[in-house]
Homo-oligomer: A and B are copies of this chain.
Amino acid sequence: MYSGAQVSLYPMSGDFAAIILDAIRALDPYRDRLRIETDDISTLMIGPPDVLFSAMRDLFVFAARSGAHCVLSAAVSRGCPGGPDSDPICGIDKRLGQDTPLAVRIDEALAAVSATEDTGQPAAAQFALYVMGSDNHMDEIVGCIDFLKQSGTFDRAKNFVTKLRGDAGPVFATLQEALFRFGPAEGHVTLDITVSANSPTKA
């Protein structure tokens, strides 16, 4: 299965270029397990889901530690038709267990978020989850919402998106679980995510 994202980092600062260049060093531990390509709009990252989400989290946290208001925005995708599914770097870890019953996966997702270490960086986030294909998979979506509401990071439902709040560690873990633990195992599922730190606007 093809797993990856187009990722953008927006530091609201006159020093945005330096903050980005500094934060990009957070990707160094992941470079041998990710395909990374950058242009003027975004950085493509392709790789296994745990590496992909850890890399995005570290990029965000490094940038946020500058103190500037920073936003990470990404279009994350798994199972996109036309992708090089046979590329070993994109493999989905079968231990994610999409072939186990939904109730078990909800418990596994909650355990995964609960076991995630805090980063010390508070974050607010919102996302939309899109399931493409020939079936609405409503059971899966309802199960995912059940997971989200118990995750400890759930803030509220908004039009078109769901809002999360918490430490960046569990917040990114919640996003990862929502994308990979639910929905059709071989389907095309995408996540449109926005994660924000240091906003001067009160929620």
Contact = CB atoms under 8 A, between A and B. Distances in A.
Interface string A163-203: 10000000000000000000000000010101010011111
Interface residues of A, number: 49
Interface stretch (A34-42, A53-61, A146-154): A34-42
Given A6-B126, A41-B163, A158-B6, A73 B75 contact: no
Given A42-B126, A130-B190, A199-B40, A6 B160 contact: yes
A44 B159 contact: yes
A5 interface: yes
Interface string A9-32: 011111011000000000000000
A159 B73 contact: no
Contacts of A89: none
Contacts of A160: 4-6, 44, 75, 77, 80, 190
Interface stretch (A101-109, A112-120, A131-139): A131-139
Nearest to A196: B41
Interchain residue pairs A-B with the least CB separation, the first 4: A12-B16, A10-B10, A40-B201, A14-B14
17 contacts: A5-B160, A10-B71, A12-B12, A12-B13, A13-B14, A16-B69, A17-B200, A40-B196, A40-B202, A41-B126, A44-B158, A75-B160, A128-B192, A130-B132, A132-B132, A133-B136, A134-B136
